[in-house]
A = this chain, B = another copy of it.
Amino acid sequence: MTASGTRARVRAELTREITEAARRPHAPGGGGALSLRAVARELGMASSAVYRYFPSRADLLTALIVEAYDALGAAAEQADAACGPADLRARWHAVCRSAREWALAHPHEYALVYGSPVPGYAAPQTTIGPASRVGEVLCRLVADGLAAGTVPVPQGGGDAVLAPGAAERVGLSADDPGSSLAARSILAWTSVFGMISFELFGHTHNVVADHERFFRNGADHLADLLGLPAGSGTLR
């Protein structure tokens, strides 16, 4: 095992180098303009050699997508963990802010993941796990408040709208029969990424001047919608 481990290790190394190089050429030509031949040139190898590691361009894209989801999810989890667990609104703002900042720091990877699906690309099962990480962070945060009693259960409004098991997966089913708090959390989740996407894709370019403040105010309104308590307040 460890004897052939050397081969497996250089293979893993080269695989990592390929995805790393593939992330760089993404800069000039945004999302779907990833060229296998370009990354092969950058690594000084023949284009056909890359196919030893990724059977097709779509598989390389998948690897990049999974990495992006994981990086964003890790950033969100880290931002959440850095807060005092009781201050829900601070946690909410921290997670939202970390997502936006990651997106601003990695616009092409964000576009790859939250933009339009790449032309001939169908998301494989591999991506759905990492994809939900930041959504789960957001929902678990609300679930913590629900469990602690600091977040009230809204009445009605979310009747049987979610997929079965979705609310349970993040601990948002107890004391919330119609899953209306879970539905509100999903709404807030989509709204957060709606703001980020609109900013990054330029739709609010001529409308919003101070995007950071706009985002913070918007996240605050969403926290109100969720009923998150005000907290210590320094982050507002």
Contacts and interface: CB of A to CB of B under 8 A. Distances in A.
Contacts of A208: 161-163, 166, 186
Given A112-B116, A116-B111, A183-B214, A198 B207 contact: no
A118 B120 CA distance: 14
27 contacts: A31-B119, A32-B32, A32-B118, A33-B119, A33-B120, A112-B116, A114-B116, A115-B117, A131-B203, A157-B217, A160-B209, A160-B210, A160-B213, A161-B210, A161-B214, A162-B209, A162-B214, A183-B214, A186-B208, A186-B214, A187-B218, A190-B194, A190-B197, A191-B195, A193-B198, A194-B197, A194-B198
Interface of A: 29-33, 111-112, 114-120, 123, 128, 131-132, 135, 157-164, 166, 183-184, 186-187, 190-195, 197-198, 201-210, 213-214, 217-218, 220-221, 225
Given A184-B221, A197-B197, A166 B32 contact: no
Given A198-B190, A201-B117, A206 B166 contact: yes
Nearest to A214: B161
A70 to B, nearest CB: 16
Contact of A114 (B112, B157, B203): B203
A214 B187 CA distance: 8
B119 A30 contact: yes
Contacts of A207: 132, 135, 162-163, 166, 186
Contacts of A112: 116
**Of listed A114, A157, A203, residue having the most chain B CB within 10 A:** A203
A193 B195 CA distance: 9
A111 B118 CA distance: 10
Nearest to A191: B191
A191 B217 CA distance: 13
Contact of A117 (B111, B128, B160, B206): B111
B194 A30 contact: no
B190 A117 contact: no
Contacts of A214: 161-162, 183, 186-187
Contacts of A205: 128
